[in-house]
Homo-oligomer: A and B are copies of this chain.
Amino acid sequence: MDVYAAISDPSRRAILDLLLEGDRAAHELLGAFRFSQPALSKHLRVLREHGLVSMRKRGREHLYHLEARQLREVSQWVAHYERFWNEKLDRLGNLLEDMP
């Protein structure tokens, strides 16, 4: 499984979206979903194994933290297609070069 497969599941994308707002313990994340605790644990394991999240323990809680850098590959891949719907992007590269 690669990063694309890891984010192909809507539940896992939702987890990442939640972590976008800050670190969360597993039981906090669970409240956002209808499936069982082991199901969440499996999703978190997949995300961990792909470096999309990291975990540290605080007492009995497992705090999960977003590691967004692993999404860079996806971002770069899809960027090749962006000119098809955004004409402004043609000039964007140059602008970025000039920025301090």
Verify B69–A84 contact, CB threshold 8 A: yes
Task: Tell me how many residues of A have a C-beta within 8 Å of chain B.
Answer: 31
CA distance A91 to B56 in the complex (A): 32
Given that A77-B13, A78-B74 are contacting pairs, would A68 and B85 also be in contact in the complex, using a CB cutoff of 8 Å?
yes
Grouping DSSP codes into helix (H, G, I), strand (E, B) and loop, the A interface class, with mixed when no group exceeds half, is helix
Interface residues of A in 6-35 (CB under 8 A from B): 7-8, 10, 13, 16-17, 20
Which B residues are CB-close (under 8 A) to A68? 81, 84-85
Looking at the assembled complex, report how far the CB atom of A93 sits from the nearest CB atom of chain B, in whole angstroms.
Answer: 12
Q: How far is the CB of A26 from chain B (nearest CB, A)?
A: 21
What is the minimal beta-carbon distance from A83 to any residue of chain B, in angstroms? 8
Closest residue of B by beta carbon distance from A83: B68
Name 11 A/B residue pairs within 8 A (Cβ), A-sorted.
Answer: A2-B8, A2-B10, A4-B4, A4-B8, A68-B84, A68-B85, A71-B78, A75-B78, A75-B79, A88-B99, A91-B99
